[in-house]
Structure 1
Amino acid sequence: MSDIIRRDPRAEWIARNRLHPLHAAMQQGQQHSWMGPNGVMRKNPHGVGFIGPNGIKRIDRSGAQQGTSNKRSAAAVVELPLHQVLQPAFYIAVVPDMVGGRLGSHDRDLLGLAHGLAGSDGAVLAVVFGEHKENNFSTAGVDRLLVIEGDEFDGYAPEQRVQGLRAVDNQFSPRHWLLPDSRNGGGELGRRFAAAINERPATRVWQVKDGQCSGRAGAGQQDLIRCLPRVILAAAECAEPVSETRHEALPEQLSTSVARSLPRIEDLGPVAVDPAAIAMAEAEFIVSGGNGVKDWELFHRATVALGATEGASRVAVDDGFMPRNRQVGATGTWVTARVYVAVGISGAIQHLQGIGACDKVVAINMDPGCDMIKRADLSVIGDSAAILQALIEAVENYRNGAKRDAA
């Protein structure tokens, strides 16, 4: 049989002519891609889509009209490859900050660094104090999870937590201890723990390579390179978070109880701070208004009720509704809030760059197709005034209910 590829000009003409009676039959058997005679994959650009009721060709990217919806749903549920360490040769212990009971971006960077140090033989051991709300330890790179429960670890209790870490150190003997060098407690806890076990920690570490670590020094203008110590206090973006593997996150328990330390420190609770006095770069909860906000008095009342720091887009600042020091974006202030609420902000590229490090973004907008909606973790489509008023009423009802319960 000859290997020469034969063409049927009449069949090709019928396939191109949508008014021909046999056009639909030719379309059903038409290939979308095939291997050419020279080994190059060929694609038919006319084979994608369908003919609408008005005779106009449409392309349905959801795949429902082309019979690919099952393929898309199957691809969506594909799980990452499981990384198992049955018998760990050693442990890399990580003590995340767990602000709000969940892993933050700094914590995930730390787990990524620990995963690189553990390799294929070691296991990443995450040590968490008290109750938590995190459900994604497995996708963050945790091989073993140790939760140390007890009321004595709640609030500000660095000395008691050091006792817990010493108990973990005696039982598991980790090769390295990794803590975030942050203001959320990890920096202080790491230094206290290093002093307790007589180790000299490496602080503000931003890179680990070939058995050495590089840390910031000289007010951030110099790098201090030293051999990798046992206790490492790492800065944010010290490594890439784990994203290509799924881990077991098997639970571990302490074999002995944690000794109680002397109650030399009394936690009096958080101090009330005016959100307006917090710098934009340090704020944890920011509510920003944009061109879609028409009632700015209502916007201010909503931020006060929510206890949030006010921000704004460049359009709102240029129009005089907000001061220049409250502008968020590449041309304003880069923010790292845990929760960022964008009210009436369409999402210009400069603004999206400024909120790139925020953990959770909530968008309130009338346009469901704007860029801010695509960036947001939670979107609310509707009038901003009505939504802000509903938020104020919900907060007031919650506080009144709490007062009645206390009485």
Structure 2
Amino acid sequence: MTRRVDPRRPALITAQGLRRIILGGTEGERDVRLGAAAPAAERRPRLAQPASACLLVVTHPDSGGIDEHAREAIAAAALLARADEAVVVVMPCADASLQLDPAALGIDRLELLPVTEATTADALADAVAERWGTLRPRLVLMPDRGDDADLGRRLAVAQGLAVAASVVEIAEGRARVRDHGAMGRASGDATASLADLDLLLVARHVARTDLPFVGRGEQLALPAPAARPTVGVQDLGRVSGKAQQVALEEADFILAAGNGVTDVALFHELAQALGAAVGASRVAVDDGRFPRSQQIGATGRTVQARGYLAMGISGAVQHLQGIRECRHVMAVNTDPAAPIAQRSELVLAEDVQNLMRALLMLVRTTPASAETAS
């Protein structure tokens, strides 16, 4: 399956057709080639001498590792770094046992910043600002999403940094920013010289991650952020929202229904019990069982959930395009040879209604059993 070219991303016309412009590519390409890099042992170190300066990347981990968006931001920093500049990554994390190879990602020094649920956004921003003041990087890069984007904007305001957000292309010493215009309507792009910028909040697919070199891979533990006193503000803690109210593009776990789901009430009951967002295939939407806003696929929404459980979905090519960036895909279908099986890590050949009833019963009884055992 070949991913479609996003018509709103920078691209050029080559003899092979329309190709996206990606940092680290020479002629443009249809997609970032993930996981195609040579083994780290076969790649040369990027730094041949001790570094006298650095580029800084700040990003949060994702389930003990880092996602593709963070990898692309790190790769962009490694590709932009000069011969005497190290790539330093500051990573706020609650668990120091991360499952990643810093050198293979192009990281010269990984600095782990310990945080807890009690660490406030202001305290974290202060700690990152302190590292920025010590390192004085030529450029800071951060993924333009969620906590990373919020932290980047806090750092820019506190230190008076020149920032570019929604950076979709970095080429020839300039950063291209998507200009959405009034009311979210695209009205063209804006560009700025990297020499005039201090911080880049980068969008997806801004750089290739299959680097031809490795970093030094050093690792350092930083002191925990100091508590910051608040005046006139009371921290009420965090309250978990309902997964069904989260936009599908931002959902962490999605339960998706296809033509094989006939008991829609049972499906929604299971989704609520699992704490999953609800999605559907085009067939299930066209049949009127689900609203158009929940359609996933080339003509619907493109999602990038950590977990995607497809119930009774055969896996048309349009649907597979919509879930191409999901990390773990599982499928339940009476046909184990359905196209969805080629994309799934786990396939259960079972009637969807029977499995939903059994899974719902298991979800409801497991917590009670755990409490009884304790």
TM-score tier (shorter): 0.7 to 0.9
In structure 2, the residue matched to 1:51 is none
> Unaligned regions of 5+ residues in structure 2, if any?
1-35
Task: For 1:303 and 1:266, locate their aligned partners in 2 and report how far apart those are by CA, in whole Å.
Answer: 34
Task: For 1:295 and 1:258, locate their aligned partners in 2 and report how far apart those are by CA, in whole Å.
Answer: 50
Of Structure 1 and Structure 2, the greater helix share is in 1
The share of aligned pairs that are identical, in percent, is 33
- Say which of 149, 157, 166 aligns to 2:120: 157
Amino acid at match of 1:361: V
Task: For 2:237 and 2:366, locate their aligned partners in 1 and report how far apart those are by CA, in whole Å.
Answer: 21
In structure 2, the residue matched to 1:210 is 172
Task: For 1:353 and 1:187, locate their aligned partners in 2 and report how far apart those are by CA, in whole Å.
Answer: 27
In structure 1, the residue matched to 2:270 is 302
**Closer, same or farther: CA 274–92 of 1 in aligned 2, 3 Å:** same
In structure 1, the residue matched to 2:228 is 261
**Closer, same or farther: CA 115–304 of 1 in aligned 2, 3 Å:** same
In structure 1, the residue matched to 2:18 is none
- Quote the offset at 1:258 in angstroms: 4.7
- The 8 Å contact of residues 115 and 141 in structure 1, kept in 2 or not, is answered as yes
- The 8 Å contact of residues 163 and 260 in structure 1, kept in 2 or not, is answered as no
Task: For 2:136 and 2:370, locate their aligned partners in 1 and report how far apart those are by CA, in whole Å.
Answer: 45
Task: For 1:82 and 1:195, locate their aligned partners in 2 and report how far apart those are by CA, in whole Å.
Answer: 39
- Say which of 190, 211, 217 aligns to 1:224: 190
Q: Say if 2:73 is the partner of 1:113.
A: no
- Quote the offset at 1:404 in angstroms: 6.1
Q: Say if 2:332 is the partner of 1:369.
A: no
Q: Say if 2:105 is the partner of 1:140.
A: yes
- The 8 Å contact of residues 141 and 242 in structure 1, kept in 2 or not, is answered as no
In structure 1, the residue matched to 2:325 is 357
Matches within 5 A, 1:383-398: 383=350, 384-398=352-366
In structure 1, the residue matched to 2:93 is 130
| Matched residues, number | 325
In structure 1, the residue matched to 2:248 is 280
- The 8 Å contact of residues 291 and 316 in structure 1, kept in 2 or not, is answered as yes
Residue by residue, what CA displacement relative to the aligned partner does 1:334-364 show, whole Å, maximum 9, x if unpaired? 2233322212212111101112233332222
- Quote the offset at 1:90 in angstroms: 2.5
Amino acid at match of 1:276: Q
Amino acid at match of 1:186: D
- Say which of 270, 292, 299 aligns to 1:324: 292
Residue by residue, what CA displacement relative to the aligned partner does 1:273-300 show, whole Å, maximum 9, x if unpaired? 3433333344332111113335434322
Task: For 2:228 and 2:265, locate their aligned partners in 1 and report how far apart those are by CA, in whole Å.
Answer: 51
Paired residue secondary structure (1:232) = strand
Residue by residue, what CA displacement relative to the aligned partner does 1:65-118 show, whole Å, maximum 9, x if unpaired? xxxxxxxxxxx9x83434533623432211113344542232122112112112
- Say which of 286, 297, 305 aligns to 1:337: 305
In structure 1, the residue matched to 2:154 is 192
- The 8 Å contact of residues 260 and 312 in structure 2, kept in 1 or not, is answered as yes
**Closer, same or farther: CA 144–242 of 1 in aligned 2, 3 Å:** farther
Paired residue secondary structure (1:128) = strand
- Quote the offset at 1:272 in angstroms: 4.2
Matches within 5 A, 1:1-80: 79-80=39-40
- Quote the offset at 1:243 in angstroms: 5.5
In structure 2, the residue matched to 1:22 is none
Q: If the length of structure 1 is used for normalisation, what is the TM-score?
A: 0.70
Task: For 2:215 and 2:331, locate their aligned partners in 1 and report how far apart those are by CA, in whole Å.
Answer: 32
Paired residue secondary structure (1:140) = coil
Residue by residue, what CA displacement relative to the aligned partner does 1:200-251 show, whole Å, maximum 9, x if unpaired? 2222222222322122233442322222112222222222234655545321
- The 8 Å contact of residues 252 and 305 in structure 2, kept in 1 or not, is answered as yes
Paired residue secondary structure (2:166) = strand
- The 8 Å contact of residues 60 and 93 in structure 2, kept in 1 or not, is answered as no
> Once structures 1 and 2 are overlaid, which stretch shifts more, 335-344 or 289-298?
289-298
Say which one has the larger Rg.
1
Matches within 5 A, 1:166-185: 166-182=129-145, 184-185=146-147
- Quote the offset at 1:402 in angstroms: 6.4
- Quote the offset at 1:136 in angstroms: 2.4
- The 8 Å contact of residues 108 and 241 in structure 1, kept in 2 or not, is answered as yes
Task: For 1:330 and 1:135, locate their aligned partners in 2 and report how far apart those are by CA, in whole Å.
Answer: 32
Instruction: Give the aligned CA root-mean-square deviation in angstroms.
Output: 3.0
**Closer, same or farther: CA 269–346 of 1 in aligned 2, 3 Å:** farther
Q: If the length of structure 2 is used for normalisation, what is the TM-score?
A: 0.75
Paired residue secondary structure (1:356) = coil
- The 8 Å contact of residues 58 and 90 in structure 2, kept in 1 or not, is answered as yes
